[in-house]
Amino acid sequence: MIIDCHGHYTTVPAPHTAWRKQQLAAWENDQTPPAYPAIPDDEIRESIEGSQLRLMRERGVDLTIFSPRASAMAHHEGDEAVSRQWAEACNDLIYRVTQLYPESFAGVCQLPQSPGVPIANSIAELRRCVEELGFVGCNLNPDPSGGHWTSAPLTDRSWYPFYETMVELDVPAMVHVSAVTNPNFHATGSAYLNADTTAFMQFLQADLFEDFPDLRIVIPHGGGAVPYHWGRFRGLADMLQRPPLHESVMGNVFFDTCVYHQPGIDLLFEVIDIDNLLFGSEMVGAVRGIDPQTGNYFDDTRRYVEALDLAIEDREKVFEGNARRVYPRLEQLIKA
């Protein structure tokens, strides 16, 4: 079985996106947004079957851990109520996909984060998505300000109530920022990668996983810059008199394989323990084109992993076993 831990619903039916625009316009004009539109199942099927599901089938992916479009979370837009309504709408849509294609999709939720709003206010939506909608994890935005980094680091105690709930529900979080308003950054080109690197360094510096030994965090996009600079991070842990990374961080942190060329995947698997790697593609997502150097899609990351010629038990870990361990709530979905 091949599980893709990192898929976003980027091909949503048009009425969903149109409603978001209406919602934000209403907020700006201090009005009540219109009711969320009725979207027939067929529109959802159409939006999935011609893109995500077709690509999954073409690439031999059985199950995608599926979350709302990351760049559209836009936690910096509107206010807390706007974010809550939008997160609920996005998560409900993911839920419908998981119900239409229960063998192909498991849900991961967007949170109703908003700049300056305590993360504890996102607990109810996490709980609803996990307990009522059967979701297996969440996307946690370390910078809901949209590129201004006004929140406390992820290791700050203000995040702890949320981690307590994650541990209680036995779900992991993927660290994932969203669109940015800061013109210095490009969402998929620098903001995402920077956030990955930033989060890892925060974890390196603090005792978060001593406080939460069962907390599990997925850092996407192959861990940002971290594996490429693995020596730097090992050396910084030493200089900062922190424990070695495998003791203090890598029991709880996992990287996906969203690295869009063979040399990057080669390095990732060379320096990071196989138990910390989860197959992921981030599709249909950041980079949709075909690499002229290979003739294959940049984000067809399965090819790169297959080219490694892993031992059979390592291959099973990356494609399935590690995902089932990090997202244990997958068990009931896969069995069902």
Q: Which of 201, 253, 284, 318 binds a copy of itself (CB under 8 A)?
A: 201
For 85, the token pair is 């309504």
Residues 68-97, mask of contacts with a copy of itself (x by CB under 8 A): ------------------------------
Footprint (CB under 8 A) of a copy of itself, residues 122-161: 142-143, 147-149, 151-153, 156
Which residues carry out catalysis?
282
To a copy of itself, the closest distance from the beta carbon of 270 in angstroms equals 5
For 139, the token pair is 């996307």
Residues 161-190, mask of contacts with a copy of itself (x by CB under 8 A): ---------------------xxxxx-xxx
Taking the least distance from each CB to a copy of itself, the nearer of 34 and 189 is 189
Angle at Cα 170 formed by Cα 195 and Cα 330, nearest 5°? 90
To a copy of itself, the closest distance from the beta carbon of 201 in angstroms equals 4
CA-to-CA dists, residue 110 to 40, 78, 129, 303, angstroms: 22, 16, 9, 29
Tell me which stretch binds a copy of itself (CB under 8 A): 89-97, 104-112, 224-232, 323-331: 224-232
Distance CA 159, CA 53 (A): 35
- Asked whether position 303 contacts a copy of itself by CB under 8 A, the answer is no
Positions that interact with a copy of itself (CB under 8 A): 142-143, 147-149, 151-153, 156, 182-186, 188-190, 193-194, 197-198, 200-202, 204-205, 221-222, 224-225, 227-236, 238-239, 259-261, 263-264, 266-267, 270-271, 286-289, 291, 293, 298-299
